[in-house]
Amino acid sequence: MEKLIFTSITILLFVSIVHAEFQFVEGVKSFKVESNLVEFTLRDAKLNIYLVDQNIIRFRYTNQNDFSKAPSYAVIYQQPEKMKFDFKEEKEKFIITTEELVVHISKNPCRISIYDKKMNLLNSDEESFGVSFDDSEVRCFKKLFKDEKFFGLGEKSDDLIKNGKQYTLWNTDYPEYTSKKDELYQSIPFFIGQRNYKSYGIFFDNTYKSYFNFGASNNRFYWFGADKGELDYYFIYGPEMKRVVSDYTKLTGRMELPPMWSLGYQQSRWSYYPESTVRSIAKNFRDKNIPCDVIYLDIHYMDGYRVFTWDKERFKNPGQMISDLKKDGFKIIPITDPGIKADSNLPAGRQGYFAAQEGLKQNLFAKYPDGITYQGEVWPGWAYFPDFTKKETREWWGDKLQPFLKIGIEGFWNDMNEPSTWGQAFPDIVQFDDNGFKSDHKKIHNVYALSMARATREGLRKYSDKRHFILTRAGFAGIQRYSAVWTGDNASTEEHLALACTMPQNLGLSGVPFVGSDVGGFMGGEPTNEMYVRWIQLGAFTPFFRGHSAIDTKAREPFAFNEWTEERARQIIQFRYKLLPFWYNEFYAASQTGLPIMRPMFLNYENDDNCYSRDAQFQYMIGENLLVAPVVTSTDKTKKLYLPKGNWYDWNNNKTQQGNQWLITEVPMNIIPLYIKEGGMIPMQITQNYVGEKKIEQLELIIFPFAKSEYTLYEDDGISYNYENDKYSLTKFECEKDTKSCKLIVNKLKDGFKSDRKNYLFTLLNTNMPNKILINGTKPLDFALEFDKERKILHLKVDAADNIKLQMEY
């Protein structure tokens, strides 16, 4: 029998050798067990299986003599030197067992199957193909289950469910892309597979051009692979999808807490200049009482698009402008493109460009294999490209940002960093340092922006104690460690209005929480008033909230539209500012857990099939408590939305709505449907024209009381890194309700930060007037109590204290 199997395998292999160049890995020759890994020598390759955690296993194959020593760009997690696991050899397979997983490694051919502890098969190699090498190309073929769903891959403009499609990851500048475009600015080779509501993730740690096929044109397998590099992937078991995403960010890192002001509204345009224009835009915001924290300077602020310079005619005294605007609550964020204009030697009488000269002299730019510095064409004309994979270049770049910090700049906008060059064909042969390991563009392309963001973040941290904001267009897995992301050059179309809802969710699911799209659409026509209103309503409920527009289009400031539109924009931006404590708390949570702020419905309601329907992707959750159902077709008068199980409070009409059903709700232009989950608490404050304008003496806590629930509020100064030294506070709110009573308990859990708070305003929704109220055992004064009979809302003003007990009886 054994012999027979062997013969048929031989025939199969023979056939494959004759008909294809793919070499599918064969049998195991020998193995070695270490403290946290098992090394297998295969007949034609090597396989190392690392036990990263009880639910995380790394499979690493190479057909070279040895594994690469170059460090990962994405993974920053240090694997423990010892890991508890069992290893067993049987006749036909090896078995690795952790506390959560059982891995079978068949001997001949070598194929992987992964089970949970109840021996449910979670994921397995396709029996015949497994892992293959074709010259430099690597692939992994996995068994495709009919009922398996796939999600992830970061910045993709199609639906959230990825089944039946093939994708390529190659950072691409593609202005005015549509939902049909595959490659975009970011490459995140991480996806989630889910069957029977059990999820796992696969992070393919390979920076070359990579491919993912989730059953496109075949019903037999799914596969992922890359043009070159190792077949190196992490299998992350949930079974909860939240744990998969969170653990993926344990590997690739999490967002730092951004400055609080970066959660406010940001205004951009290609380009605001000269200085008087910037000042008048700022003045308009203040005169019109439209909150705004940031104004961007696009490429025209520079001298001939030379990075690190100012156009002295347009901006005579940038330092003065920045400091004046800062007094009025504005931060100025300049664009910083990587391309350094190649004019080190100018004709007599003109000085060469210092950045070009320094870069050439210090050997900081990417070069051809013959040592000639590469030049590609981009905004400044022919330009050199800093090699951010070289430590010295990163340090140099960080140093170049210092003059900006000195004049008060607190944020940078990294663009054209795919890297983008006209023609979009950066030559493959261009060489990079690759942290001393020397590689070409094929390997570095996808991590160029990640390395640039790293240089920026490290430079800012080195010279300043303040938190800074960084925005990037391109990136790779791990970009969340350094930067927020916007979805590039979108268009003023209905399609993009809807994409502004789905793309940030997809990025969030791939570890990037600080995301958003240009409100109003960047190019490709103008938004109608209605479209702009719907867009800004949605933007106000995305983590990154910025209006921006291209050079030859209409501006996207709220006051560039008619009064009717401006008023609606003002209302929603003000509402965003009222919700800042809520947003900040969600940012804090994301920095701790790596979970998205703006979440697909199915992330929170993984067992609810309705949440996977296409319609449900046009609504989402912010954290756990708030459901947002934006209008994504501007002419729509109604919105179809789904409320999962439980009760929901409709914030717009003050009614409780039963969940587990689809609804069709009317959406007048001043409304974006918002629902608070039962038990949900939402902290709010007064609106401001900018973060820090006013002393915030009252925190309003909106509570939709239900059975038992709790909420913990994080607070710090919002500006510095002092929170890393314990300078933050945590306040826990617990609410308990039954038919006769409602109790609210406040407890300060941690007191490292003192806010200006003098009182709480507790706003209890869907409540009757209690016949007895006691605050810390005594009756509240009349002025502190207000009951809105019609809307069934009770407001209670209570002095701020570390411990408060509120009791209501009905």
For residue 41, the minimal CB distance to ligand GLC (Å) is: 48
By beta-carbon proximity to ligand GLC, the closer residue of 166 and 271 is 271
Long-range contacts of 398-404 (CB under 8 A, 24+ apart): 398/455, 398/456, 398/458, 398/459, 398/460, 398/462, 398/463, 399/459, 400/307, 400/308, 400/355, 400/459, 401/308, 401/336, 401/456, 401/459, 401/460, 401/463, 402/459, 402/463, 403/308, 404/308, 404/334
Q: Which of 158, 337, 415, 586 is catalytic?
A: 415
For residue 318, the minimal CB distance to ligand GLC (Å) is: 18
Strands (E), 430-534: 431-432, 439-440, 469-472, 475-476, 484-486, 515-516, 518-519
Strands of 708-715's sheet in order across: 708-715, 729-737, 741-751, 803-809, 772-775
Whether residue 418 lies in the annotated active site = yes
Spatial neighbors of 168 by CB under 8 A, at least 6 apart, are: 182, 183, 209, 210, 211
Stretch 279-318 residues interacting with ligand GLC (CB under 6 A):
298-299
Among 443, 417, 416, 419, residue whose Cα is nearest residue 429 = 443
Q: Which of 205, 230, 410, 489 is catalytic?
A: 489
For residue 573, the minimal CB distance to ligand GLC (Å) is: 21
Give the span between the Cα atoms of 163 and 152, in whole angstroms. Answer: 11
- Does position 569 bind ligand GLC by CB under 6 A? no
Rounded to 10°, the helix 563-578/580-593 angle is 60
Among 508, 455, 448, residue whose Cα is nearest residue 473 = 448
| Positive or negative: CA dihedral 76, 80, 85, 89 | positive
Among 294, 591, 252, residue whose Cα is nearest residue 471 = 294
Q: Residue number with the shortest CB distance to ligand GLC?
A: 270
For residue 518, the minimal CB distance to ligand GLC (Å) is: 7
- Does position 341 bind ligand GLC by CB under 6 A? no
For residue 184, the minimal CB distance to ligand GLC (Å) is: 11
Contact 293, 691 (CB under 8 A): yes
User: Would you state the structure tokens that stand for residue 310, as one six-digit string?
Assistant: 């100012």
For residue 473, the minimal CB distance to ligand GLC (Å) is: 5
By beta-carbon proximity to ligand GLC, the closer residue of 415 and 650 is 415
DSSP run (H or E) holding 604: helix 601-604
Stretch 529-548 residues interacting with ligand GLC (CB under 6 A):
548
Give the span between the Cα atoms of 261 and 760, in whole angstroms. Answer: 23
For residue 430, the minimal CB distance to ligand GLC (Å) is: 22
- Does position 270 bind ligand GLC by CB under 6 A? yes
For residue 267, the minimal CB distance to ligand GLC (Å) is: 13
By beta-carbon proximity to ligand GLC, the closer residue of 243 and 548 is 548
Per the DSSP assignment, residues forming a β-bridge with 295 are 267, 332
User: Would you state the structure tokens that stand for residue 139, as one six-digit string?
Assistant: 């692939």
By beta-carbon proximity to ligand GLC, the closer residue of 262 and 517 is 517
Q: Are strands 793-799 and 598-599 parallel, antiparallel or unpaired?
A: unpaired
Which residue in 60, 107, 111, 473 binds ligand GLC (CB under 6 A)? 473
By beta-carbon proximity to ligand GLC, the closer residue of 212 and 301 is 301
Whether residue 415 lies in the annotated active site = yes
Helical ranges in 509-579 per DSSP H = 529-539, 563-578
By beta-carbon proximity to ligand GLC, the closer residue of 415 and 433 is 415
Q: How far is CA 440 from the centre of its chain?
A: 28
Per the DSSP assignment, residues forming a β-bridge with 335 are 413
The amino acid at 679: G
- Does position 516 bind ligand GLC by CB under 6 A? no
By beta-carbon proximity to ligand GLC, the closer residue of 191 and 270 is 270
Contact pattern from residue 138 through residue 177 relative to ligand GLC, giving x for each residue in contact according to CB under 6 A and a dash for the rest: -------------------------------------x--
Contact pattern from residue 174 through residue 203 relative to ligand GLC, giving x for each residue in contact according to CB under 6 A and a dash for the rest: -x----------------------------
- Does position 488 bind ligand GLC by CB under 6 A? yes
The 10 Å Cβ neighbour count of residue 751 is 12
Spatial neighbors of 777 by CB under 8 A, at least 6 apart, are: 805
Give the span between the Cα atoms of 246 and 237, in whole angstroms. Answer: 11
For residue 532, the minimal CB distance to ligand GLC (Å) is: 18
User: Would you state the structure tokens that stand for residue 58, as one six-digit string?
Assistant: 């790394």
Stretch 387-426 residues interacting with ligand GLC (CB under 6 A):
415
Q: Which of 155, 173, 183, 418 is catalytic?
A: 418
Which residue in 247, 293, 489, 608 binds ligand GLC (CB under 6 A)? 489
- By CB under 6 A, the count of residues binding ligand GLC is 10
By beta-carbon proximity to ligand GLC, the closer residue of 256 and 415 is 415
User: Would you state the structure tokens that stand for residue 494, as one six-digit string?
Assistant: 């209905």
By beta-carbon proximity to ligand GLC, the closer residue of 481 and 548 is 548
Spatial neighbors of 10 by CB under 8 A, at least 6 apart, are: none
For residue 798, the minimal CB distance to ligand GLC (Å) is: 46
For residue 470, the minimal CB distance to ligand GLC (Å) is: 15
Contact pattern from residue 359 through residue 388 relative to ligand GLC, giving x for each residue in contact according to CB under 6 A and a dash for the rest: ------------------------------
Contact 357, 395 (CB under 8 A): no
671-688 CB burial, b ≥16 within 10 A, e <16: bbbbbbbbbbbbbbbbbb
Whether residue 434 lies in the annotated active site = no
Which residue in 45, 281, 335, 701 binds ligand GLC (CB under 6 A)? 335
Give the span between the Cα atoms of 190 and 354, in whole angstroms. Answer: 40
- Give me the torsion for CA of 476, 478, 479, 485, rounded to 10°: 90
For residue 522, the minimal CB distance to ligand GLC (Å) is: 6
By beta-carbon proximity to ligand GLC, the closer residue of 299 and 590 is 299
Contact pattern from residue 431 through residue 470 relative to ligand GLC, giving x for each residue in contact according to CB under 6 A and a dash for the rest: ----------------------------------------
By beta-carbon proximity to ligand GLC, the closer residue of 238 and 376 is 376
By beta-carbon proximity to ligand GLC, the closer residue of 200 and 469 is 469
Q: Which positions lie near ligand GLC, rule CB under 6 A?
A: 175, 270, 298-299, 335, 415, 473, 488-489, 548
Please list the active-site residues.
415, 418, 489
